[in-house]
Amino acid sequence: MASDVIIKALKGIVGDSNASMSEAIRQAYSRDQNYMFNEPKQPGYVVRVTNKEEIRQILKVANDNKVPIIPLGQGVNIRGLCIPTRPGSILLDLKGMNTIKEINQDMMTATIEPGVSLGQLVAACRKKGVRPAVPGAPATCSAFANYMLRGVYHHNPQDGIDHVLSMEVELPTGQTIRTGSSAISTSYGPHCRYFGPDLTGLFMGVPGAFGVITEMTVKLYDLPERQELIGFGFDDWKRASEYAIDMMKLEIPSLLWLIDWIALAVIAGFSRRQIKLKTPKAALPVCTFALLLEGTEEDVELKLGKLEKLVKRAPPDQDLRDGALSTGMFNAEEFLGGRNVAGMLKMGYYFALAFFHPMSNGAEIFEMFKDIGEKHGFERDIVSFVSTPTKSGPNNWSGQLTYSEGELFVDQTEPGVIDNLKAFSKECIETILDRRYIYSWFRPYATVLDITLERAGETGDLLRKIKNLLDPNDIMNPGKFL
């Protein structure tokens, strides 16, 4: 179908002012922070929607004419997930669907639309005396999209990463799928994830590749009565990892980040020049613990007692409990709201390769990143690494599950740096898989997915069949997942 016919159909659904082929508007959606790995490309059309019926009609137009469609929540994205791979795609902007439909303190759930920002949800929940899961992302990000993609959350060591209970999904074939207890029209409500096979899980971790999720019910948590932010320093990553394992076995942390000196210097506000000259290195540990204890007064006192026994039995290399950690480096309040990313942005292009693995092999992976970085022209000291233990469920740390990422901050204007970064990324991915270091990738998209699916065998074949069943014309965000 000709583009003028498509735009006429789209305007007929959302109105003239909400559908556009203007190059200026399309350009705004053509790239994100990950442009080195995802070539900038303009969508053919940008459509702003405000309700589910508009989405259904747009999906029908797209499916009937085999036009790719890309859902976008808030557009705070650093992985290229909403950048078109095919010409003439429809960019479905969901920011106008920004209603918090319910905050239910009795059920400890919130029901939200795709355009609800993290800051909006946090503020609304605080008025009710509760909190949502807070990811390490800016307050402007879509809470909805982050939960759907499983973000990395401040409270990973306490709450884990699965916070979605049920959803409503519009498929390109015209069906409306409801998952969890929402699937039953006469159920008590959308507050339960379980109804036969876990269809909620089927639509998580998939960036708009199966359908458009239009509504989601998520878990809420109590606001802590008390918080204690504590810091320790370690001279090597292996000992820090062993200490983290001991802490998790004792169920001490609500939050625990293992942070190398580079990442800590970025957080602390050192300039790019100071970090390049390694000015902060002498003053900072190889690995710093940012440890947050939360709960009632009684809970926190119990955790402090456990921690004191651990410290007496095995003292850390540096005890930072004198407040050094919180003066300008961290603020406990940040862990209840959005992340401050100003320090990261001034460092240049931010690259991260993220994955899940057992905490016990973190030191080996840490050295691997540095070895490969050095091989591809990056100074060993500038290759960064951070980790946080991640619970599988309450009182359950199966497999020592840990989220980690190898990071690089680079000046993309330096000659050859883009090619070096791509070669570094590819070798890291292949080495991690070859050495069986990890359980899985944090978000297995683009280059990571291409390399990994070769090793997925019949499981990869099954994923492709599911994609073909739900999206037979392959219009849903093609190329981003399968």
Task: Give residue-wise pLDDT tens across range 352-388.
Answer: 899 999 999 999 999 999 999 999 999 998 899 999 9
Which pLDDT value is given to residue 452? 84
216 and 231 housed in the same domain: no
Whether 19 and 165 share a structural domain: no
Structural domain ending residue among the three candidates 174, 205, 222: 222
Boundary-marking domain end, from 222, 250, 274: 222
Both 261 and 249 in one domain: the answer is: yes
Q: Of the residues 222, 237, 270, which one is the last residue of a structural domain?
A: 222
288 and 370 housed in the same domain: yes
**What confidence tier does 481 reach under pLDDT thresholds 50, 70, 90?**
confident
Lowest mean pLDDT among 12-26, 403-417, 435-449: 435-449
pLDDT above 90 covers a percentage of the chain that reads 67
Structural domain for 85, as ranges: 3-93
- Helix (H, G, I), strand (E, B), or coil: what is residue 423? helix
Q: What is the CATH number of the domain that holds 424?
A: 3.40.462.10
Helices (H), 284-398: 297-313, 342-345, 362-375
pLDDT tens digit sequence for 310-353? 999 999 999 887 655 544 555 666 666 656 655 666 677 788 89
Closest Cα to residue 193, out of 237, 239, 160? 160
Is residue 232 in a domain?
yes
Q: 1 falls in which pLDDT band (50, 70, 90)?
A: low
Q: Which residues, in sequence order, are bridge partners of residue 217?
A: 111, 166
462 located within any domain: no
Q: Is residue 469 part of a domain?
A: no
Structure tokens at 346: 């001034």
pLDDT at 444: 64
Same domain? 348 vs 280: yes
On whether both 305 and 372 belong to a single domain, the answer is yes
In this structure, the number of other CB atoms found within 10 A of the CB of residue 379 comes to 11
Do 238 and 375 fall within a single domain?
A: yes
Across 47-51, 99-103, 373-377, 442-446, least confident range: 442-446
Residues 258, 308, single domain; the answer is: yes
Q: What are phi and psi of 396, to 5 degrees?
A: -140, 115
Q: Is residue 451 part of a domain?
A: no
Angle 372-437-136 from CA coordinates, rounded to 5° = 85
- Residue 307 has a pLDDT of 96
Q: In this structure, are 117 and 249 located in the same domain?
A: no
Same domain, 323 and 422: yes
- Read off the CATH number of the domain in which 114 is found: 3.30.465.10
Interatomic CA distance for residues 317 and 235, integer angstroms: 6
What pLDDT was estimated at residue 105?
96
Is 480 inside any structural domain? no
What pLDDT does residue 267 have?
80
Same domain for 409 and 376: yes
Number of domains in the chain: 3
Question: What is the pLDDT at residue 339?
Answer: 60
> Would 455 be classed as within a structural domain?
no
Pairing of β 164-170 and β 176-178: antiparallel
In a domain, 297, yes or no: yes
Mean pLDDT, residues 194-207 taken together: 91
- 320 and 407 assigned to the same domain: yes
